[in-house]
Structure 1
Amino acid sequence: MTEPTPDPRALDDHAFAVWAAERAGDVLLQVRSESGLTGKELKDAGDAAAQELLARLLAEHRPGDAILSEEATDDRARLDADRVWIIDPLDGTREFSEPPRDDWAVHVALWEATGADGGELTAGAVAQPALGETFSTGAPIAVPPRTSDRPRIAVSRTRPPAFVEALAAEIDAELVPMGSAGVKVMSVVRDLADAYVHAGGQYQWDNAAPVAVARAAGLHCSRVDGSALVYNEAETSLPDLIVCRPELAEQILDFVRRNGTS
């Protein structure tokens, strides 16, 4: 029996993030399988379709909230808003354009103001549509004890940073190549990797939802210098981060302090 469609206005923010990310994921799977497009045309069509859907769902069901999206002009009114949805409609366009790869994702996160001290991420969902999985702050995963003998570090499958290769050599870690930023963070949540260390440039939408989910799972999340990851800032760039099992955090941060990331 088909489950009834939920009333999005009745969903709490955690469930709404999941619902919106999964609806965008459904659209992306349809574009991928039915459009007949390939390469850049498929990437562009996926970006556009997922952006249109998420923007429409947020406007309809969360009309008082601001939006920061990779695929839309930055509306600076968000800087004075109490609630801002930070979205990446399609994270990992390269992987999306290479069926049947499943290492691409949809990111939906909510940032809320907390007063004079700024704000924080309060809800988030990362959907991996081709995997049929969605990870969220509403049902956080309890990360199990590490199953690997050697630490595993998630890295780009096309351009792993040299400093991460040096880190891996120092701590005897294995490099695990994979696609999008969200997928790399979720690999730590899923115990497919033990850390994701990045300093090659990202934006708030690349990691807001993944970080929200990773924090809910009890993982360490910070900038590479150990400082906090701050969202809904005027500057959308958020170029580096560490997401890892708590027991690896100090070892990784110490390496960066001694060696830098260049």
Structure 2
Amino acid sequence: MTETDDHLAERLATAAGAILLDLRAGGLDGKALGKAGDEAANALLCRELRAARPDDALLSEEEKDNVSRCAERRVWIVDPLDGTREYGEGRDDWAVHVALAVDGAATVGAVALPALGVTLTSADPVPRGPANAPLRMLVSRTRPAAEAIHVAERLGADLVPMGSAGAKAMAVVRGEADIYLHTGGQYEWDNCAPVAVAQAAGLHVSRVDGSPLRYNNSNPYLPDLLICRKELAGEVLRFAAEYAPLP
């Protein structure tokens, strides 16, 4: 039987995570570990995707981009190691992303959290529990967005610093947090898989202006992202829109 796209994404994200854990147990750390991890995980993902889906296009953070992919309906979008700094520091908040975008939409996604021993997928959505009290909003460990700080103040939410985009998005999926608002810029590989998983879990996903996220663009840069509980989306979008930086 031919392997489904969902199973392929889950299998490869989990396998890349296992390679990364083995590397980290081998004595390297810091930037050297991050570089080795990026290379090893990327080699596995690209080799296996090209073998399993030779007719599909591929966009990886660690591969030279070929914009001819934009003419294809199906493109695999992968981040072999999301959160290289956290991985090199021995932290848990890093991830592996494997996604399939079809006609520009994040359709299939798997996000492995190897240090936590879990892979979340769009094929097996996590059920929604109650919101946290007070609400919890995830922000960057090093550069929390001013818009996010403003929205958190308006909502009375606690700010929760965390590492990789995938780890933050999956914390919302798992109910550990309620809102992930990012305005510092990302690339398609940073959020395509997390978006697919979050959508399947019934969360709101959009740009910070409420417009949809589209993938397989010639320029893979994406300025902003919102993942949150659906019942919070209206207020979060309104408070984000009212934020105006001082001149």
Same fold (TM over 0.5): yes
Q: Which secondary structure does the structure 1 equivalent of 2:89 belong to? A: coil
Normalising by structure 1, what TM-score?
0.91
Q: Note the 1:109-258 alignment, pairs <5 A.
A: 109-113=99-103, 119-146=104-131, 148-258=132-242
Q: Which secondary structure does the structure 2 equivalent of 1:72 belong to? A: coil
Q: Which secondary structure does the structure 2 equivalent of 1:10 belong to? A: coil
Runs of 4+ in 1 over 6 A off after TM superposition: none
In the alignment of these two chains, the number of paired residues is: 246
**CA shift digits 1:200-248 (9 cap, x unpaired):** 0100000000000000000000000000101011111012010000111
Paired letter, 1:120: A
**CA shift digits 1:115-156 (9 cap, x unpaired):** xxxx3222110000110000001111112122x221110111
Paired letter, 1:69: S
Structure 1 equivalent of residue 96 of structure 2: 106
Of 49, 62, 67, which residue of structure 2 is paired with 1:58?
49
**CA shift digits 1:79-108 (9 cap, x unpaired):** 111210000000000110011x11100000
| Displacement of 1:255 | 0.9
Give distance in 2, aligned partners of 1:124 and 1:259: 32
Give distance in 1, aligned partners of 2:120 and 2:39: 23
Paired letter, 2:40: A
Of 16, 39, 53, which residue of structure 2 is paired with 1:24?
16
Answer yes or no: is the 8 Å Cα contact 2:17–2:112 preserved in 1. yes
Task: Indicate how the Cα distance of structure 1 residues 260 and 64 shifts in structure 2: closer, same or farther if over 3 A, else same.
Answer: farther
Task: Indicate how the Cα distance of structure 1 residues 224 and 145 shifts in structure 2: closer, same or farther if over 3 A, else same.
Answer: same
Q: Which secondary structure does the structure 2 equivalent of 1:235 belong to? A: coil
Give distance in 2, aligned partners of 1:163 and 1:241: 12
Give distance in 1, aligned partners of 2:213 and 2:122: 17
| Displacement of 1:163 | 2.3
Q: Which secondary structure does the structure 1 equivalent of 2:214 belong to? A: coil
Cα RMSD over matched residues? Answer: 1.3
Structure 1 equivalent of residue 6 of structure 2: 14
Answer yes or no: is the 8 Å Cα contact 2:105–2:213 preserved in 1. no
Task: Indicate how the Cα distance of structure 1 residues 244 and 261 shifts in structure 2: closer, same or farther if over 3 A, else same.
Answer: farther
Specify every segment of 5 or more residues in structure 2 that has no aligned partner in the other structure, as ranges.
none
Q: Which secondary structure does the structure 1 equivalent of 2:222 belong to? A: coil
Larger CA deviation: 129-138 vs 149-158 = 149-158
Answer yes or no: is the 8 Å Cα contact 2:148–2:240 preserved in 1. no
Answer yes or no: is the 8 Å Cα contact 1:199–1:261 preserved in 2. no
Task: Indicate how the Cα distance of structure 1 residues 123 and 261 shifts in structure 2: closer, same or farther if over 3 A, else same.
Answer: farther
| Displacement of 1:24 | 0.5
Q: Note the 1:38-53 alignment, pairs <5 A.
A: 38-53=29-44
Give distance in 2, aligned partners of 1:70 and 1:103: 19
Give distance in 2, aligned partners of 1:121 and 1:194: 21
Q: Which secondary structure does the structure 2 equivalent of 1:40 belong to? A: helix
The percentage of counterpart residues that share the same residue type is: 54
Specify every segment of 5 or more residues in structure 1 that has no aligned partner in the other structure, as ranges.
1-8, 114-118
**CA shift digits 1:149-192 (9 cap, x unpaired):** 21110111222122211221111000111110001000100111
Structure 2 equivalent of residue 4 of structure 1: none
Give distance in 2, aligned partners of 1:215 and 1:162: 25
Answer yes or no: is the 8 Å Cα contact 1:153–1:196 preserved in 2. yes
